[in-house]
């Protein structure tokens, strides 16, 4: 991933130097309820049809952002997302994963454990009537998929276990927009981060509706929306995980803004 470090630095320097005209601080945290879809492994095994993923599970997300009026320096945002989901299925075809062959007919227990941490440098390009931000993100992705083959009887016997994972820093293009609805405290916002290279791609987008109640020194509010995180990875290019999965669902955050 080192060859993309230059992109990260260059993007921060090239972005236009439009900034807020005051100091600002915002933060939020909440619950993300996502479902897992797509495929795992070079064979492209369906996580829904073969591995049994069908239910949403809860995860945690949070962010902190700091804006300032210095034109040359970017604003900064730090964010995290943590999520895991497990399922039980039965294979109808052979599954080669993590150097292990799990045969057709095997019962499986699968765990997908996903986490990322972001450091985003961005500029506020427009703040009259609506906000428009553009920047770059350094994202540390730590994801593991673990598949266990179980004996087909009353005893819980592990016949085989396979695991693939990726723990990498990747650069992402960052964009965000927000429109405040006058005299209501309501706002509509969206955010997207993504990149594609060497046969792999990352895409993370969200859309939300928020409401903020103004107090003398800060705004306190709540926001709800939809988020999708997609990882199309080839272990021959990056990490040790081959996947084309997405984790998508609804979220709700508490938020404050100074």
Lowest mean pLDDT across 16-20, 42-46, 209-213, 232-236: 16-20
Neighbour count for residue 198 (Cβ, 10 Å): 10
Kindly provide the b/e burial profile for residues 112-131, where b requires at least 16 CB atoms within 10 angstroms of the residue's own CB: bebbbebebbbbbbeeeeeb
Nearest to 179 by CA among 219, 204, 207, 221: 207
pLDDT digits (tens, 9 = 90+) for 97-123: 999 999 998 999 999 999 999 999 999
pTM (global) more than 0.85 = yes
* pLDDT of residue 7 exceeding 90: no
Lowest mean pLDDT across 9-23, 39-53, 171-185: 9-23
pLDDT of residue 49: 96
* pLDDT of residue 33 exceeding 80: yes
DSSP string over 208-241: EEEEEEE-SS-EEEEEEEEEEEEEEE-TTTSTT-
Mean pLDDT (the chain, rounded): 88
Split at pLDDT 50, 70, 90, the class of 127 is confident
Looking at the structure of the chain, the number of domains it has is 1
Split at pLDDT 50, 70, 90, the class of 155 is low
Say how far apart CA 57 and CA 101 lie, in whole Å. Answer: 28
Query: How many angstroms separate the first and last alpha carbons of the chain?
Result: 36
Please report, for the domain that includes residue 112, its CATH number.
Answer: 2.40.160.20
pLDDT of residue 21: 56
Determine the 3-state secondary structure of 9 from DSSP. Answer: helix
Contact indicator for 121, 136 with CB cutoff of 8 Å: yes
Which residues 6+ apart lie within 8 Å of 147 measured at CB? 40, 51, 95, 97, 98, 102, 108, 109, 110, 161, 162, 163
pLDDT of residue 150: 83
Distance of CA 94 to the CA centre of its chain: 30
* pLDDT of residue 126 exceeding 90: no
Mean pLDDT of 47-68: 96
- Supply the range of the domain harboring residue 7: 2-257
pLDDT of residue 89: 94
Beta strands 75-90 and 57-67, pairing class: antiparallel
Mean pLDDT of 1-28: 56
DSSP 2: G
Mean pLDDT of 123-144: 92
13 or 96, greater pLDDT: 96
2 or 70, greater pLDDT: 70
Say how far apart CA 39 and CA 80 lie, in whole Å. Answer: 24
pLDDT of residue 113: 98
């Amino acid at each position: 991933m080192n060859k993309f470090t230059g992109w990260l630095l260059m993007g921060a320097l090239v972005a236009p130097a439009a900034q807020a005209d005051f100091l600002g601080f915002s933060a939020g945290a909440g619950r993300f309820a996502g479902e897992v879809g797509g495929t795992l492994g070079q064979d492209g095994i369906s996580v829904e049809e073969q591995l049994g993923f069908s239910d949403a599970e809860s995860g945690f997300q949070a962010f902190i952002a700091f804006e300032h009026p210095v034109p040359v320096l970017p604003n900064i945002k730090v964010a995290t997302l943590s999520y895991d989901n497990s399922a039980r299925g039965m294979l109808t075809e052979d599954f080669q994963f993590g150097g292990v062959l799990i045969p057709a007919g095997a019962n499986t227990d699968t765990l997908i454990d996903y986490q990322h941490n972001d450091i985003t440098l961005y500029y506020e390009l427009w703040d009259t009537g609506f906000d428009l931000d553009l920047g770059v993100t350094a994202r540390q992705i730590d994801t593991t998929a673990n598949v266990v083959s179980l004996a087909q009887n009353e005893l819980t016997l592990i016949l085989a276990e396979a695991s693939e994972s990726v723990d990498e820093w990747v650069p992402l293009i960052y964009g965000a927009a927000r429109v405040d609805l006058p005299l209501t405290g309501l706002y509509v916002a969206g955010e997207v981060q993504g990149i594609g290279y060497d046969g792999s791609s990352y895409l993370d987008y969200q859309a939300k509706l928020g409401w903020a109640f103004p107090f003398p020194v800060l705004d306190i509010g709540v926001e709800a929306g939809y988020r999708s995180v997609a990882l199309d990875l080839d272990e021959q290019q990056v990490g040790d995980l081959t996947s084309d999965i997405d984790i998508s669902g609804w979220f709700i955050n508490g938020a404050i803004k100074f």
